[in-house]
Structure 1
Amino acid sequence: EKELPRYVHLMYDRRVVRGNTYALQVIPVVCLLCSTQPSLLEIQRQREAQRRALARKRAEQLQSRTPEPVEGREHVHVQTELYLEEISDRVIEVDIECQTDAFLDRPATPLFIPAKTGQDVATQIEEGELFDFDIEVKPILEVLVGKTIEQALLEVMEEEELAQLWARQRAYAELRNAELAEAQRLEEQDRRYREEKERRRLQHMQMLQKQKETTEKIAARAFAQRYLTDLIPSVFNNLRDSGFFYDPIERDIETEFLPWLMTEVEETLKRKVLGRTVLDSLISAVVEKRLDAFSHKPLPDQPEVPAEEPKPTETAQPQEAGETDTAEQLVAEQEETDQPVAEEQLSRRSSSQLEETDQAGTEDLGIE
């Protein structure tokens, strides 16, 4: 059953009868009982319909169905009974008639009357014994009229109060809407101020960052210039001292000519030393032979003087002087013969180096 709505005010309650009470349509109790309680025949019909539906559903479930045919084929009805039947195009028709009895209406269900319990007792009240209607009804009417008037006054006061409340609510809503609009305007203005402040702050930070970067770049450039002014000459000097920058002619003289000259000088000195050693050995051999000759053979023109011996040093000095002169002449001639060869080689090397430098200069001029 649906729950009836609860009304706050008595005048709006639907359960309160309004208007003429004699014009109400009263439904008899028998009809109400008939409409509320279903008949036995209706119950049997419903059960039979449910039973038939269940039987139909079971038959459909138990019926075996043939699977669907494959693509390109179709099913054909074939007789599978034990005895074959003749199939003809004409359907056999038979007329059958049936007459049913007239359906009798179900009588109305009698009203249930419970069995009587207890004993019946009666009493007789004469007119005027219990109360006088005119006298007894007066306080009831006063109460009813007073309560009605009081309720009406309360309703009027409530309506006036509700009207005042609605007016207050409308005024409050208008004031609240105005305050909300003002608050929204102030919030929007504050938001714009914050955004503008944040934008200005970001611009200022970017400007400071750019100024800082500019000052750092200027300082780095000045430091680099100040550092490189002394660095570049020192680097070039160190590289030049280390031998990375050199004069090709000077380097060629140092690496090619001077070693060759030193080897030639060493060979010349070796030859001189060898000549001197050979000369010394020759001189010593000649001196020894002369000493032996003078010591064993006396002179024929002079008489023998046994007491005095010839001085070998005095006789050997002229011969040694002559031999030394001849050796020095040989060494001088050899030096004179070696010196033109060395000068020719030196002139050839210098001329080749000059030609290379001239070619390099012409190539540089052509490139420029």
Structure 2
Amino acid sequence: PNPPEVQKQKGTQKRALARKHAKEPIRPGTPEPVEGREHAYVQTELYLEEICDRIVEVDGECQTDEFLDRPPTPLFIPAKTGKDIATQIEEGELFDFDIEVKPILEVLIGKTVEQALLEVMEEEELAQLRAHQRAFIELRNAEFAELQRLEEQDRRIREEKERRRLEHLEKLRKQKETTEKIAARAFAKRYLADLIPSVFSNLYDSGFFYDPIERDIETKFLPWLMSEVEETLQKKVLGRIMLDSLIRTVVEKRLDAFSCQPLPDQTEA
């Protein structure tokens, strides 16, 4: 193959690898361990192997038969064939350095310049890719911030709708409660319009409403008067009983006295 084509293919492969690495997501590194801890290195391969600092050593022995030492192998020298012929070449007959080195230098310089240009183009392409990636990240962050703002706005709108719905339901509930209270009050007022006079009349007939002076006379004065009259009557009855007893005693004594006196005829005799 032609060397320039080989170099061009290698440059193309390098650029393809650079694009592939640029498209791959940047993986974040492992964060530093917190104070008092340290990272432990583990194997992530499919087949694990034991890793140790000390190489396992095993002692082994064997016994060989006694043999005579083999003589050293002589150096192989192939047999000479053909005839030796010599010739004389003067300076400048086969090779002119100034003429022969010029295309080599041109090729080397051209390849060096081409490689330098390829590397510069690759660096510029990588810089453009990084700039594009930074712009993409900034755009993505801006879109993410806008999305968060819209989500927050939507959340506030939903909360406001829910709050207003609850306020409307509370207003309807209070309005219904007020209507029920007004209806109950009107019904109670109509129901009690005829009930209160009848209740008062029944209570008055049952004696719950009375004249305080009359009630005072009935509860205090009349019982006292009756007790005084009863006491007076008891005293009168007791006086009469005592008087009757005295009269009876006097009468009995007089009867006894009269019965003990002799008759006048008997006295004269």
Which band: TM-score by shorter chain?
0.3 to 0.5
Report the TM-score, using the length of structure 2 for normalisation. Answer: 0.38
Structure number with greater Rg is 1
Report the TM-score, using the length of structure 1 for normalisation. Answer: 0.30
